[in-house]
Amino acid sequence: MSNSRLFPPLAALRAFEAVGRLGGIRRAAKELGIDHAVVSRHIRSLENWLDTQMVIRNGSANQLTSEGEEYYKEIYSALTTISTATGKLLHSGNELSFSLWCIPGFAFLWLADHLGDFIASNPNVSVDFRPADNSPDFRTKEVHGDIRYLREWEEADVSRFARRFEFARPYVFPVASPACAAQLPPIQTAADLLDCPLLHENNDLEWLHWLRAQGLDIEDRMPGSRLWHAHLTLNAARQGHGIALANHMLLSDDLEKGRLVRITPRTGDFKPVNFGAYTFLAREDRWNAPVIVRFRKWLQSTMANEPA
């Protein structure tokens, strides 16, 4: 058998890779910009060429067979290598585009103040920056990178199509305005915080995990206002509406300038807690693209100058 016999048509391989990655023929067709009937023909052509069924057709669902799944892993890796090598060649010396999403609280309270440094040091990179509540769909090429605060109980939800780089895991502690702190009942232990006005983001899980780390066994829903985003929660704390959980990356100079103060017991301190990490995510096939490598290195060097 000649070597050329071992190379299926590239169009069929691209269609198959997209179906395997996106989980459906219509989704693959949308990404590839062709009709779904064309994708179906490519898949059947590949199956005929290999004399093996690769896709289980079950209504709107298109799952891979066991043979198809094994073949997909190899084809995905090979096409990723081709894509990365081509991207490096096409973009060397030319302007690069970089679309970045970010969880809103971190976007407003930290990244917006630092991103200008990345832009200034990378003048040939055109940045499209968007605060976003939810992570992008990494099955598509909608966005280059994304920054999330991944709590330990959320890590299993990360897309299997994304790689991640954890760049900061700061300690979390309670803060309030000086006026609010002055009106609180005596704080001897973490249990005394249950009698105080607590501020939450979109749910009470952070406070629940923080208090459990202090040794409290709490089962009930936590009371307190929900502000949904870190920057809104901290703003409510600055205005004296209650106690928020925060970390040094979100506080900027709030503590130094006295807008907020740490809430601590009368003697000693609370146990240090960190239950999440700020994480950069990108599609696996773009992980080594020049602009993403630059941004990862910039994050790493910038974090080296942050307080511990």
| pTM of full prediction above 0.85 | no
- In the predicted structure, residue 284 carries a pLDDT above the cut 50: yes
Question: 91 pLDDT exceeds 60?
Answer: no
Amino acid of residue 105: G
pLDDT single digits (tens) 135-150: 888 777 678 999 999 9
Average pLDDT over residues 86-97: 59
Q: What is the pLDDT of residues 211-268, one digit of tens each?
A: 999 999 887 788 889 998 999 999 999 999 999 999 999 998 999 999 999 999 998 8
Give the model's pLDDT for residue 93: 46
